[in-house]
Amino acid sequence: MPKTFGRLSRASSLDSEFLANPRSRLRNLLILHRIATEMLRGMRRLHFVGPAITVFGSARVKEDSIDYGMARTVGQMLGKAGFTVITGGGPGIMQAANRGAREVGAPSVGCTIRLPHEEAPNPYLDIRVDFHYFFARKYMLTKYSLAFIVFPGGFGTADELFEALTLIQTGKMRDFPVVVFDEAFWQPLRTQLDTMRDAGMISASDLDLLKFTNDPAEALDHIHTFVRRSPKHSRRVRGSRLLGEAHR
């Protein structure tokens, strides 16, 4: 059996086991142990990344596209502004943002996910953290980010966008700006959000942190407006002597 096929078959098996019900108490305990191990590993790897912005977008975007060039520029601007750039670590928009950060000497991080149609990680990562469980990966991206920047993408990108909006709406996250790039692509979504607001399904204030734009400078201004008030931004991270981190 080819190595890649075996790895992906195991990943698919883990997914089936995790989502299946019922399972024995011992089997559920083993699943919880796997989840906890994955999350602890992620916390250890990302603990010292510093103030970071996560960039989302499609892996299918080509290198010669306008969106790729824009994401690369955004990565450069974020890096120059002192931010670490985090992505899903794959090709397309993710590669462009990581590439831009690397080009200006800023930390570039990829939180990759194991999928049946697995893509190779992009070559512009300083730190790479592999995840099997989507929710563990999404938790890490939210926990260690000060803002999200969303480029055109598919279901996964939309999932990340709406999870952030839900956490903002329910007060679980405060002063967490979300910037959406390519106004033409996202116009139907913007119209739907306006419809939801007008119908009373969401409040106008739920959209205060959301910014649609085509301008990287405008995006950075929007992020700075809220990030400077974020408790995450002012929190100092200290190393632990017990864990060999006293030099940090």
pLDDT at residue 6 in the model: 47
Band (pLDDT 50/70/90 cuts) for residue 189 is: very high
Radius of gyration of the chain (CA): 19
Helical spans, DSSP H, in 20-154: 25-46, 66-80, 93-103, 134-143
Which of these, 53, 57, 97, 65, lies nearest to 181 by C-alpha position? Answer: 57
Each residue's pLDDT tens digit, 207-240: 988 999 999 999 999 999 988 776 665 555 565 6
Rounded distance between C-alpha atoms, residue 239 and residue 45, angstroms: 13
Q: What is the pLDDT of residues 23-34, one digit of tens each?
A: 788 888 988 999
Answer yes or no: are the C-beta atoms of 56 and 90 closer than 8 Å.
no
Alpha carbon distances (Å) from 215 to 71, 127, 181, 225: 11, 28, 8, 16
Interatomic CA distance for residues 118 and 37, integer angstroms: 22
Q: How many Cα atoms are found within 13 Å in the side-chain-facing hemisphere of 118?
A: 19
CB atoms within 10 A of CB 151: 26
pTM, entire model: 0.86
134-145: string of b/e by CB count within 10 Å (b at 16+)? Answer: eebbbbbbbebb
Q: How far apart are CA 77 and CA 100, in angstroms?
A: 8
Q: Each residue of 65-98: pLDDT tens digit?
A: 999 999 999 999 999 999 999 999 999 999 999 9
Q: In the chain, what is the straight-line distance between the N-terminal and C-terminal CA atoms, in Å? A: 44
CA distance 101 to 56: 14
* Residue-level pLDDT at 247: 46
Q: Which of 80, 84, 97 is nearest to 49 (CA)?
A: 84
Domains of the chain plus CATH, in order, are 8-234 (3.40.50.450)
